[in-house]
Structure 1
Amino acid sequence: MRDDLGAELITRRPVRRVVSLVPSLTEAMAVTEPDAVVGATDWCTHPAGLDVTRVRGTKNPNLDLISSLRPDLVVANQEENRELDVQRLRAEGIPVWVTHIETLDEAFSSMRRLFTDGLSWGVPDWLTTAEEAWATPASAPRGRAAVAVWRDPWMVVGSSTFTGDVMQRLGLENVFEKHEDRYPHVELSEIDRDDIDLVLLPDEPYVFTADDGPEAFSNVRTVLCSGRSLTWYGPSLLTAREELESLLN
């Protein structure tokens, strides 16, 4: 079997012990086969009450601890995790399945391959339902928008990102879609301007709140939203569209 990047893997199937280095996929696997997930990062906050060994962060996982958990498979993502960590785990004989996801369609196809080819668990019902929830295009354009992911310095969602594709599916035009960077640094004046209709302020990775973020803008409407709904793939996609559309209406 081969992962999203074409790397060939050999592992026990079906997988009975998995370590996840991707919060979205931790939730996806833990909801589907709770007993199979034995390790996850400190950032893996869902499902609620997840009781597994924590292996530090997505960028600095404790490789020795991961090895001690004797996983049949480690699940990673090309964007969220470091290639060096993947190489080191593989050098220790630990199979690592790397996902590549930049659009909703890629998210659904990647997760289907992970569950069928990588884990041999079959396609979970929630995945089929989530795909149906996002199948239709936006009913009408909702204007030009930006998504801030950090402040001081300000950073926004740029080109070729999963979040950018979610915006498009919601009827929003990402004003930074053609930027050469995926998450460019910008000046506040570049997003607080009259030709932008909306700035979304999610609660991750930067935790924007009612007192931290909206007060910086004087020209553009801002909307606080769930980072999980806007940036995660997995079971969050079951409710993300309805939740985000209710904020935009």
Structure 2
Amino acid sequence: MLKTKIVEDQLSRVIHLKETPKRIISLVPSQTELLCDLGLESSLIGVTKFCVHPHHIRTDIAVVGGTKQIHLDKIKALQPDIILCNKEENTKAIVETCEGICNVHVSDIFTIDDSLELIHQYGEIFNKSKEALVIRTSIKKEIDDFNTFIKNKSLLKTVYFIWKDPWIVAAGNTFINYLLKLNKFENIFKDEVRYPEVNLNESFINKDVDIVLLSSEPYPFKEKHKSDIQEFYPNSAIILADGEMFSWYGSRLAKAFKYFKNLRLNLENDQL
């Protein structure tokens, strides 16, 4: 008889595993990408409609809903061994409902260390510790290189928009804010909570902002939206930002820091 493995997720919830999970449902896009990079694509049986990496994933694997709304009957029919969630991406009700089906692991990400710990946990849960170590080592190297690069760069006052109509920004206590800080982008909304709605006509709009970042997700900001915001920030550079680099954790971080370096170099070339 196999010994039951006892693990904790990032909410310190205890999970009892009688064997390595073989049928996995992921309800978080960045975690889906991580699973594939760990070599677990063949074990994935369900993903969300927002899981876009790798690009073929939604064609090859059953789509069981979004991150906030799921098709419970589909999930039950797939008979998963484990369902992977995230505290921010998925609701408490989804987690509780999924617990009635099988084991549920919940991630909770605010820092790079949290991301590295999640990768380690997946390595332990899915018997992919060697693969997890390779990814963790790669991310740490990229961070070290980037920290050397960014060390003497100037601090830039920044606003990071994630939505329009209403306008919503990323504020404090978010993974986005953490990555902005690593980039020496001083978030002018860092003292606000989470994702506040803002009125562009009110007094807190700071005309001394250096750059305004318009994220590619969850709202798909495009070139045409720059003019919508420029009048409120007449002295600022308006930049389209790759939202995946600023908000996806897991293996995506191995690519993010090269993107951040190029972003800073492009800003310097524009003589900010």
What is the TM-score of this pair, normalised by structure 2?
A: 0.85
Match status 1:107 vs 2:115:
yes
* Structure 2 match to 1:232: 248
SS at match of 2:17: coil
Residues 30 and 36 of structure 1 are in contact (CA less than 8 Å); yes or no, is this contact kept in structure 2? no
Gaps of 5+ in 1: none
* Structure 2 match to 1:72: 81
- Counterpart CA distance in 1 for 2:113 and 2:230 is 33
Q: Give the greater-gyration-radius structure (CA).
A: 2
Match status 1:185 vs 2:205:
no
- The correspondence of residues 145-184 of structure 1 with structure 2, limited to 5 A, is 145-179=158-192, 181-184=193-196
The residue type paired with residue 139 of structure 2 is A
- Counterpart CA distance in 1 for 2:201 and 2:255 is 33
SS at match of 2:225: coil
The residue type paired with residue 104 of structure 2 is V
Q: Per-residue displacement from partner, 1:192-225 (whole Å, max 9, x unpaired)? A: 6322111111110001000124442132211112
Q: Per-residue displacement from partner, 1:56-109 (whole Å, max 9, x unpaired)? A: 1000111221121121111000010011111112123x1000011011221112
- Counterpart CA distance in 2 for 1:38 and 1:198 is 42
Task: Give the structure with the larger helix fraction.
Answer: 2
- Counterpart CA distance in 2 for 1:6 and 1:126 is 23
**How far is 1:124 from its partner?**
4.7
- Counterpart CA distance in 2 for 1:141 and 1:12 is 52
The residue type paired with residue 107 of structure 2 is T
SS at match of 2:221: coil
What is the TM-score of this pair, normalised by structure 1?
A: 0.92
Match status 1:59 vs 2:59:
no
* Structure 2 match to 1:13: 19
Match status 1:134 vs 2:146:
no
SS at match of 1:244: helix
- Counterpart CA distance in 2 for 1:76 and 1:217 is 37
- Counterpart CA distance in 2 for 1:83 and 1:120 is 28
* Structure 2 match to 1:121: 128
**How far is 1:187 from its partner?**
1.6
Identity rate of aligned residues, in percent? 28
- Counterpart CA distance in 2 for 1:119 and 1:102 is 23
List structure 1 runs of 4+ shifted beyond 4 angstroms.
Answer: 189-192
- Counterpart CA distance in 1 for 2:252 and 2:8 is 26
- Counterpart CA distance in 2 for 1:15 and 1:197 is 48
Match status 1:4 vs 2:10:
yes
* Structure 1 match to 2:269: none
**How far is 1:43 from its partner?**
0.4
RMSD of aligned Cα (Å): 1.7
